[in-house]
Amino acid sequence: MGQMDGRVAIVTGSGRGIGKEIALRLVRDGASVVINDIDDAPAEETVAEIKKMGGKAVMCNGDVAKPDFGDRIVKTAVDAFGGCHVVVNNAGYTWDSVIQKMTDEQWYAILDVHLTAPFRILRAFQLHFKDAVEKERAEGKRIVRKVVNISSTSGVNGNAGQSNYSAGKAGIVGLTKTLAKEFGRYDVTVNAVAFGYIQTRLTKPLAQGESGEIEVQGRTVKIGVQGGRLAALNQMIPLGRGGLPEEAAGSVYLFCSPDSDYVSGQCLVVNGGL
C-alpha cells in the first residue's frame, strides 16, 4: 500500500525536469496523475513511462497561462479519475533582464505563468473540492487534500536581472499563505517550496558568449547560466553542488504526503544549505 493510493494529483509542467520527477514520485506511491506540458512530446513520453511502471496518467497539455486552463485541467482530473486531491503548481520558465531593459511583455508573461495561472487553477480546484468535501463529511469521511506551489529563492531573497520572476515567486508565497487560511476549513493544506539552484535545462551551464533558448508560445526566450557563475555558486553551497530534479521532487512530495497533514501555510527553502 502506497501513501498516495486512491489520490489524484495535478502536476503542471510535468513533461520534463522537476515536474516530471514530482509526477513519477507520486505515481510510485500510488497516485494517479494529470501530466501537463506546453509541448505534446515530453508529456506523451512521461505518460508512457508512467504506464510502463504500471501507473495511471493522462495528459492536459497547453499553456497554463490561458484563461480557461484552470477549469480545463481540474475537469480533466475529475473526468479521468473521479476527483482531485493534490495540486502542484510547478510550470514556469525565466525571461531575464535588468529592469530598464525589461519590456511589459516580459513582465506580464512571467507573472502570468508563475502567479496568475496558479490562481486560476486553485480557484477551479476550490469549486471542485467544496462540493466533494461536503459529500465526504456527510458520509463520515475526512480526506486531507494538498496544494504545493513552487516558489524560488529569487522570490524569497530577490535576484538581479529577475524582477519579473522574483515578483511572481514572491507573490506565490503570499497566495500560499492566504489560501492556507481560506482552505483550512476544508481540510486542505497549502504550502510552498522555494528552490535554489536545481540542475535543470533552465540552469544549464553555458560557455562564455553562448546562449540557450526555448520556444514559448512563439517567443524565443534565452535560458541558461554562465558556467563561471555556477562554479562560484557551487562553492558557496554547503553541499557543494546544485540539487538534482529527483531531490527537488522529494521536498515537494513531503507536502503531498500524509506526513504533512498538519503542516500548512509554510514556505520550505530547498537550497543545499546556502
CB neighbourhood size of 53 (10 A): 12
Distance CA 166, CA 129 (A): 30
Active-site pick, 93, 108, 165, 253: 165
110: exposed, middle or buried (Cβ count in 10 Å: 0-12, 13-18, 19+): buried
What Cα–Cα distance (Å) separates residue 184 from each residue in 122, 145, 147? 14, 10, 11
Distances (CA, A) of 97 to 37, 59, 94, 166, 237: 25, 33, 10, 12, 25
Q: Which amino acid does the sequence have at 173?
A: V
Question: Which residues pair with residue 59 across a beta bridge?
Answer: 35
Cell of 194: 522555494
| Element (DSSP H or E) covering residue 233 | helix 227-236
β-pair partners for 221: 214
Verify whether residue 165 is a known catalytic residue: yes
CA nearest 201: which of 232, 223, 227, 229? 223
CA distances from 134 to 204, 231, 233 (A): 46, 53, 49
SS3 216: strand
Q: CA dihedral in degrees (112, 117, 123, 125; nearest 10)?
A: -170
Encoded amino acid at 116, one letter:
T
- As annotated, the active-site residues are 165
